């Protein structure tokens, strides 16, 4: 699927988007509609309270991005809903929003072929940032209090995985360097690079995130 808009290096939109919102919770739906309608990247916003209404009334529209809130849905229902939307609107990008387990929704995102999702959502600012990221990248998710993380950067090297796994096992930097026959400075540099890549404030958060992504064992 091609990009729906062009963005510069600061993720500013050069073309405006036609957005659709599917959100069963009235307060959340009104909040999204109000805030996103004011965004610099928004051409129009159409709001729907559930899938059936959206599929019935929204087919005549060409949406660039569809925001899907799924509070109260089961995992199976979410996958079914997202796949239906993807089938009906194959050229639109779909952003799934839910306060739920990170690894669970990564799985849902992959299974339903959704372009992106946000979990542990805190603010509408996160949604705005996520939409801009989604226009730059094919997929991403956001976690840790609304920090957007690009999943295209989730791959780690074998050496990085070894270092993280030893760190998770309780090894110190000195012991890791001895175990892997590398300098302590090299170990620290790998950890620093990983923290920057995954936008983690500390090693504990980095390890938790990598475990959730299945990059290292718990």
- Give the β-pairing of 140-143 and 116-118: parallel
- pLDDT of 144 reads 54
Which residues are 97's β-sheet partners?
69, 118
Q: Per-residue pLDDT for the chain (218 aa), expressed as one digit of tens each?
A: 222 333 333 334 557 899 999 988 888 888 888 888 888 889 999 988 888 888 888 777 889 999 988 766 777 788 888 888 888 888 888 988 876 566 677 777 777 778 888 775 556 777 887 888 787 776 666 665 556 666 555 678 889 999 999 999 999 999 999 999 999 999 999 999 999 888 788 898 888 878 766 788 87
| Selection from 106, 144, 97, 103 nearest residue 124 by Cα | 97
C-alpha 120/C-alpha 169 separation (Å) is: 27
C-alpha 186/C-alpha 177 separation (Å) is: 8
pTM of the model: 0.63
The percent of the chain in helix, strand and coil, each rounded to the nearest 5, is 45, 15, 35
Domains in the chain (CATH in brackets) are 17-152 (3.40.50.2300), 154-212 (1.10.10.10)
């Amino acid at each position: 699927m091609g990009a729906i808009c062009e963005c510069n290096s600061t993720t500013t939109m050069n073309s405006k988007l036609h957005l659709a919102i599917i959100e069963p919770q009235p307060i959340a739906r009104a909040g999204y509609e109000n805030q996103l309608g004011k965004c610099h990247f928004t051409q129009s916003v159409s709001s729907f309270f559930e899938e059936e209404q959206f599929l019935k009334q929204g087919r005549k529209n060409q949406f660039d991005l569809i925001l899907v809130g799924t509070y109260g849905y089961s995992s199976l229902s979410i996958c079914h809903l997202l796949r239906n939307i993807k089938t009906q609107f194959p050229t639109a990008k779909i952003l799934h929003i839910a306060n739920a387990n990170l690894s669970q929704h990564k799985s849902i995102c992959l299974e339903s072929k959704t372009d992106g999702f946000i979990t542990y959502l805190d603010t509408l600012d996160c949604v705005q940032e996520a939409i801009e990221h989604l226009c730059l990248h094919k997929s991403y998710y956001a976690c840790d209090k609304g920090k957007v993380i690009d999943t295209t950067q989730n791959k780690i090297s074998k050496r990085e995985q070894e270092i993280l796994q030893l760190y998770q096992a309780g090894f110190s930097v000195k012991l890791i360097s001895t175990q892997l026959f590398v300098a302590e400075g090299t170990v620290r540099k790998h950890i620093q690079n990983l923290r920057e890549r995954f936008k983690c404030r500390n090693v504990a958060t980095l390890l938790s995130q990598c475990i959730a992504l299945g990059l290292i064992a718990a």
